[in-house]
Each structure stands twice: as structure tokens, then as C-alpha cells.
Copies of this chain bind each other. A is one copy, B any other.
């Protein structure tokens, strides 16, 4: 790594994040489980397969249309477990608070977390609180971790398993979360309020797995957006993913906001969407299963896995041309989650 300092882009989920993980963390921590870089690690313990995941949340502002840092933390962790095909068993929550933080703010966030966990039906069983002097942190950061349980005898979904011929399904519109936070932070208003899609997807995933238990890959496209997620799957599977731009649902206000700000919605974070890759013959039933869930009403088949060129994502544009869809290089949207 040539840079000698940490940049915002190192935390953005794109190229620089990948470099930091590869050049530093894997070198010092590397082991067969971590090296898979799943949304969750999958561990064998006794007769059980456990999923284990962690994420820090530093979103600014703390409250935004459709959610807040607390709901985001719970949903983000539940969704990372879901992406491993695991049901949530228990969550932990660690708070780093800035001295002087308003007590009511913490109370609202804790209430929201409690409610989100209760809606999911999972308990927050462990926690920690640290307070740092004024100016040493910006109000509140939350780190949630989660343990999930994988059903016995089922191979966990994983990017490596995406195979030529598979269909690519997306559970709904993209860009809502990132644009909601951005609009809120920058005080931009549109014809209607853009709301974050922040939601737990364990039920939606369970519905898909029930109908298509052999789903090859599940992934929630958060930082770096759908583009980063698909590129990661392409690289890890050694296949090519080809998607049709016209089939990707985008809310009109999000589309307008992205155009205005010069941001590609494919690069914008989502917090309540899932990408599923599975055999073509199961695509329609899986999409229908998603559509029966409130978070998957706009689910769509957006593309397919091809054998080559390996590690690439191709986008068939609305104009009919084919272009390479790359991962975001910088960080257009810092502190989005």
C-alpha cells in the first residue's frame, strides 16, 4: 500500500477498503474462515454451524427518515447473518459515547434498538459502554455483533458458489438509504422525502431459502452499493455477472437526487436489500417468495452469471450498450452507515 495515511475511502467499501483488508488485515489476522470475507463468518462448533458477524456504525446524522443509528445497527447485523443463511440467535451492542452527549438522544437510540431487536425476535444479550472526552468522538458510535444459527445439512450461501447460468435477483429498489442520509445531512429536499430502506431481512431470506434451499449466494449491498457487491461476487466466484440496467428498480426521487449530485445509484448504500444468486430454474419462485414479503415487493431478476470474462461485472445500459461496471474508487458518501 503506497498511502501512508488512512483515507475516508479506506472505509467506503470500494477499492481502497479491499486494499486495506488484503494488504493489512488479512496479512496479520489471516485464517481460513476470515479469508472467505463473508458478510458473516461461518464456524463449526460441535454439531452446529454458527454465523458470526460484527459492524461498527458511525452514520451522520444519527436520525434520518426511515431510521436511526440504532435501528441501522440491529438491522445491519441481522442482515449480515441472513446473508449467511442464518437465523439470528443473539446480538451484542457496544457504545462509544462522546462526553456531553444528550441523554435523550441516547435514550431514543436505545429505544429504537430495543424495538428493532424485539421486532426481529432476537435479544441483545451483551453490551459495553465507553465514554471519551468531548472532541474525541462525534456523539455516538455503535458496534453490534451477532451470532446466528445455520440449519443443519445446508451448505451456506457464499459468493464462491455463484455459477454460470445462475440468475441474479435483487429484492427491491437501490440507493434509498444512502440518498436519505445524504439528503438529510445536506439539507436537500426533494418533491417527497427520501426514506432509508433500513429493515431486517431475516424473514425474507428464510422465505427464499424455504422455497429455494440451494440458493448459491446471498449478499446485502451496503457500502459501495450494488456495484461493489456484484464485483465482489464476480471476483470471488471467478465468473462474470451481467445485469440489465432497465431491470434494476430505483425510486424516482432517488434517481433525481443521484443525477443532481452526480452519483451513480449503483454505488449508493442500501440497508434493506438482498441480492440472491441461484439456479435459473428457481429464479421465478424465489422472486415470487420475495415479493410476498413487505421488503421484497419490487423484487426483480436483474441479470445472470456468465462464465467469462472472469471477475467482471457487465452492465447492459438502457441504451442497449454493454459497459464494465466497476467498484467505486473514492468515498462520495462518508459516514453513510
Q: Chain B contacts of A99 at CB under 8 A?
A: 5-8
Cα–Cα distance between A110 and B26 once the two chains are bound (Å): 10
Q: Chain B contacts of A131 at CB under 8 A?
A: 6-12, 331, 334
Contact of A56 with B7 in the complex, beta carbons under 8 Å: no
Contact of A132 with B334 in the complex, beta carbons under 8 Å: yes
Among B3, B9, B137, point to the contact of A138 (Cβ < 8 A). Answer: B137
Given A4-B104, A94-B145, 4 further pairs, Cβ under 8 A: A11-B130, A43-B89, A53-B126, A130-B141
A104-135 interface code vs B (CB 8 A; 1 in, 0 out): 10110011011001000001111111111101
Most B CB atoms within 10 A — which of A58, A103, A125, A132?
A125
Q: Chain B contacts of A321 at CB under 8 A?
A: none
Nearest-Cβ distance from residue A219 to partner chain B, whole angstroms: 15
Closest residue of chain B to A334 (Cβ to Cβ) is: B133
Of A44-52, A192-200, A287-295, the one with at least 4 CB within 8 A of chain B: A44-52
Among B4, B101, B127, point to the contact of A54 (Cβ < 8 A). Answer: B127
Indicate if A55 sits at the interface (CB-CB under 8 A).
Answer: yes
Indicate if A102 sits at the interface (CB-CB under 8 A).
Answer: yes
Indicate if A188 sits at the interface (CB-CB under 8 A).
Answer: no
Cα–Cα distance between A8 and B135 once the two chains are bound (Å): 12
Secondary structure of the A side of the interface?
Answer: mixed
Cα–Cα distance between A106 and B66 once the two chains are bound (Å): 35
Among B31, B34, B50, B100, point to the contact of A6 (Cβ < 8 A). Answer: B100
Contact of A147 with B43 in the complex, beta carbons under 8 Å: yes
Contact of A52 with B147 in the complex, beta carbons under 8 Å: yes
Contact of B47 with A110 in the complex, beta carbons under 8 Å: no
Indicate if A240 sits at the interface (CB-CB under 8 A).
Answer: no
Q: Chain B contacts of A190 at CB under 8 A?
A: none
Nearest-Cβ distance from residue A168 to partner chain B, whole angstroms: 25
Cα–Cα distance between A123 and B129 once the two chains are bound (Å): 25
Indicate if A41 sits at the interface (CB-CB under 8 A).
Answer: yes
Contact of A132 with B28 in the complex, beta carbons under 8 Å: no
Contact of B5 with A102 in the complex, beta carbons under 8 Å: yes
Nearest-Cβ distance from residue A126 to partner chain B, whole angstroms: 4
Evaluate whether A103 and B3 lie within 8 angstroms (CB atoms) in the complex, with A11-B129, A334-B131 already known.
Answer: yes
Indicate if A95 sits at the interface (CB-CB under 8 A).
Answer: yes
Cα–Cα distance between A126 and B331 once the two chains are bound (Å): 23
Q: Chain B contacts of A93 at CB under 8 A?
A: 29, 54
Q: Chain B contacts of A31 at CB under 8 A?
A: 123-125
Contact of A133 with B335 in the complex, beta carbons under 8 Å: yes
Q: Chain B contacts of A97 at CB under 8 A?
A: 6, 10-11
Q: Chain B contacts of A92 at CB under 8 A?
A: 41, 52-54, 145
Most B CB atoms within 10 A — which of A45, A96, A126, A331?
A126
Contact of A128 with B94 in the complex, beta carbons under 8 Å: no
Contact of B129 with A10 in the complex, beta carbons under 8 Å: yes
For this complex, 30 residue pairs linking A to B, each with C-beta atoms less than 8 Å apart, are A4-B103, A4-B104, A5-B100, A6-B102, A6-B103, A7-B131, A9-B131, A10-B129, A24-B106, A25-B110, A28-B110, A29-B124, A33-B123, A33-B125, A34-B123, A34-B127, A41-B126, A43-B89, A43-B147, A48-B48, A52-B125, A52-B126, A54-B93, A54-B127, A54-B143, A55-B94, A58-B136, A60-B136, A132-B334, A136-B335
